[in-house]
Amino acid sequence: MQRDLESKANALSKIQKDVSKNHQVRKQYTIQVGENELVLKELELVNDEANVYKLIGPVLVKQDLAEAKANVKKRIEYISAELKRMDRALKDLEDKQNSKKESIFKLQQKMQAVQTKA
């Protein structure tokens, strides 16, 4: 019983680490969406004749305004889709975490019952 409890505790610890890692990545994606939305707002304010440049490595390359807007919108869509995927994964991990906690609690109760009988 003790080994079973230890293995379940180790599994719970691993799930908790995964949840923490998932939260960090989700936070990073949320920041990226916010930054890209700001870029899109700035591009909306620019008039059609203005020059837009994209940083590629150490070089600024001239880019069409419509193309720049399309690229930013695609990036926002992609990151938003990743956020939704992360939310689903996080929900699954939290469900697993709760079920592990429950099984550990039941096992602890069983062990206490055995100890009180002995």
Q: What is the pLDDT of residue 74?
A: 98
Domains recognised in the chain with CATH numbers: 2-117 (1.10.287.370)
Q: pTM for the full model?
A: 0.78
In a 3-state reduction of DSSP, which class is residue 57?
A: coil
pLDDT of 102 higher than 90: yes
Is pLDDT at 118 greater than 70 in this prediction?
no
Cβ atoms 86, 29 nearer than 8 A: yes
Q: Which two structure tokens, joined as six digits, stand for 113? A: 């019952």
Nearest to 1 by CA among 113, 91, 117: 113
Question: pLDDT tens digits for 34-63?
Answer: 999 999 999 999 998 889 999 999 999 999
The answer to whether the beta carbons of residues 36 and 76 sit under 8 Å apart is yes
